[in-house]
A and B are shown apart, each in its own frame.
Chain A
């Protein structure tokens, strides 16, 4: 027989308040659990249309990029990306050893993500083509949540099969195979602090030269310049390792500070350090502002020289400024305006974004040959570039 419990009216009110508070806590807990935070989840359904522009060092590159992601079941989603580069180049390499040119590069890629409980499997394939370079890349990635969803471990492999051609020489075709092995780990450190670690090893085999670029060497017999050119010769293999550590910290009053460091080394003798720092600041309900600073420095490849002492001085020869000793500094600004927040129907929300990055390149052993001077005493080269990203994103 059940005992009847008599309850005073004041006690009933207290119980009701406690129940309501408990329900509110449970609802809040369920709401937070459903948020797409660190747990491995399928990408959101969204579409992004980007216009990009790079203008610097005599090169202008611009074009659109479209990305669409759509779930097609509870466990699977597909992503499609179309990307175009319209290139008009009169860079220092081009004007000193060749003629200005224009070309177009198109890239299409698709990927499928499959979610099984706490495991996300992604498989992708992409193709890129331009006049003198064709690339196809396949990739596979697996991500696993663990330790109470505070840690995500991810392993990835990508392989690119590329063909290098040379305009004006239809018989020229060389292969390059690029393989990437990647391990990354993201970790919730506290309720305000996230960290991510990434390790990547890359191997390239085949024709790794630029088929047009040349090195210069001293030739006293050339009375007008004092030097001559010959084709670059690169090793046929390159193995590279990169390690990166990044963090994001949530500041009071809803703002975020982020920073990162990357170390890079390869078998060509290049070592590089990259530092990044950024601040994200929401303003009122709909605006988001970002400020970024990035510092990069690298040492030259073992076989790089601005000026060789004679023809065929070494087995391998390079004068590609990307293989020289240099630093870059980037100052970036971004603004984002969100519209149709909490929208219903097809369009759930969207935003309009504009990012501007100013990049300064300073070379320590690459000289500006457009300036007449004694051989090997030309001024060191430097240039500025402006990068614009304007894009509209919608979630549906």
Chain B
């Protein structure tokens, strides 16, 4: 039963990779604007995160560089 669910999930996942996007490429002008970038200036955001990491007990789950932030 578990294996069947996994296969089903896998099929949905693979199907999803080829799905028709609900936001069409020609509708993404706003998303492509630099002001919508989570990490527009990496050298600057990296520094300010360093400031907080050094002075606060919490860390992690910041803006990633190299992918995963929807902006690279």
Query: A141: nearest residue on chain B (CB-CB)?
Result: B66
Nearest Cβ in chain B — how far from A193, in angstroms?
Answer: 9
Interchain CB contact (< 8 A) of A40 among B43, B60, B67? B67
Q: Which residues of B contact A37 (CB under 8 A)?
A: 28, 31-32
Are A250 and B68 closer than 8 Å at their CB atoms?
A: no
Nearest Cβ in chain A — how far from B63, in angstroms?
Answer: 8
Are A38 and B33 closer than 8 Å at their CB atoms?
A: no
Q: Which residues of B contact A162 (CB under 8 A)?
A: none
Are B58 and A296 closer than 8 Å at their CB atoms?
A: yes
Nearest Cβ in chain B — how far from A327, in angstroms?
Answer: 10
Interchain CB contact (< 8 A) of A32 among B16, B29, B62? B29
Nearest Cβ in chain B — how far from A263, in angstroms?
Answer: 9
Are A357 and B48 closer than 8 Å at their CB atoms?
A: yes
Interface string of B31-72 (1 = CB under 8 A from A): 111011010011110111001100111111111111111111
Are A194 and B31 closer than 8 Å at their CB atoms?
A: yes
Are B66 and A120 closer than 8 Å at their CB atoms?
A: yes
Are B67 and A111 closer than 8 Å at their CB atoms?
A: no
Nearest Cβ in chain A — how far from B55, in angstroms?
Answer: 6
With contacts A153-B68, A184-B69, A240-B59 taken as known, whether A190 is within 8 angstroms of B36 at the C-beta atoms is: no
Are A264 and B59 closer than 8 Å at their CB atoms?
A: yes
Interchain CB contact (< 8 A) of A301 among B28, B43, B57, B61? B57
Are A196 and B70 closer than 8 Å at their CB atoms?
A: yes
Q: What is the CA–CA distance of A89 and B38 in the complex, to the nearest angstrom?
A: 33
Are B20 and A36 closer than 8 Å at their CB atoms?
A: no
Q: Which residues of B contact A322 (CB under 8 A)?
A: 55-57
Interchain CB contact (< 8 A) of B17 among A32, A36, A146, A357? A146
Q: Which residues of B contact A200 (CB under 8 A)?
A: 60-61
Interface residues on A, range: 35 or more
Which residues 258-273 of A have a CB within 8 angstroms of B? 258, 262, 264, 266, 270, 272
A243 within 8 A of B: yes
Nearest Cβ in chain B — how far from A41, in angstroms?
Answer: 7
Are B47 and A50 closer than 8 Å at their CB atoms?
A: yes
Query: A37: nearest residue on chain B (CB-CB)?
Result: B32
B19 within 8 A of A: yes
Q: What is the CA–CA distance of A188 and B36 in the complex, to the nearest angstrom?
A: 11
Are B36 and A298 closer than 8 Å at their CB atoms?
A: no
Interface string of A33-47 (1 = CB under 8 A from B): 101111011010000
Are B66 and A33 closer than 8 Å at their CB atoms?
A: no
Are A35 and B47 closer than 8 Å at their CB atoms?
A: no
Nearest Cβ in chain B — how far from A247, in angstroms?
Answer: 10
Q: Which of A228-236, A366-374, A387-395 contacts B (4 or more CB under 8 A)?
A: A387-395
Are B64 and A182 closer than 8 Å at their CB atoms?
A: yes
Query: A25: nearest residue on chain B (CB-CB)?
Result: B26
Nearest Cβ in chain A — how far from B50, in angstroms?
Answer: 9
A129 within 8 A of B: no
Interchain CB contact (< 8 A) of B32 among A36, A150, A393? A36
Q: What is the CA–CA distance of A31 and B69 in the complex, to the nearest angstrom?
A: 23
Q: Which residues of B contact A357 (CB under 8 A)?
A: 48
The winner among B23, B43, B60, B61 for most chain A CB atoms within 10 A is B61
With contacts A32-B29, A250-B36, A270-B58 taken as known, whether A186 is within 8 angstroms of B44 at the C-beta atoms is: no
With contacts A48-B43, A194-B31, A270-B57 taken as known, whether A32 is within 8 angstroms of B38 at the C-beta atoms is: no
Can you list 16 residue pairs at the A/B interface with Cβ under 8 Å?
Answer: A35-B29, A67-B43, A147-B21, A148-B19, A150-B22, A188-B31, A191-B27, A198-B61, A202-B59, A244-B61, A246-B63, A256-B33, A258-B38, A272-B58, A296-B58, A357-B48
Query: Which A residues are within 8 Å of any B CB, using their own CB?
Result: 25, 28-29, 32-33, 35-38, 40-41, 43, 48, 50, 52, 54, 65-67, 81, 83, 111, 113, 120, 122, 124, 141-143, 146-150, 152-154, 156, 180, 182, 184-188, 190-192, 194, 196, 198-202, 240-244, 246, 248, 250, 254-256, 258, 262, 264, 266, 270, 272, 274, 280, 282, 288, 296, 298, 301, 322-323, 328, 353, 355, 357, 359, 361, 387, 389, 391, 393
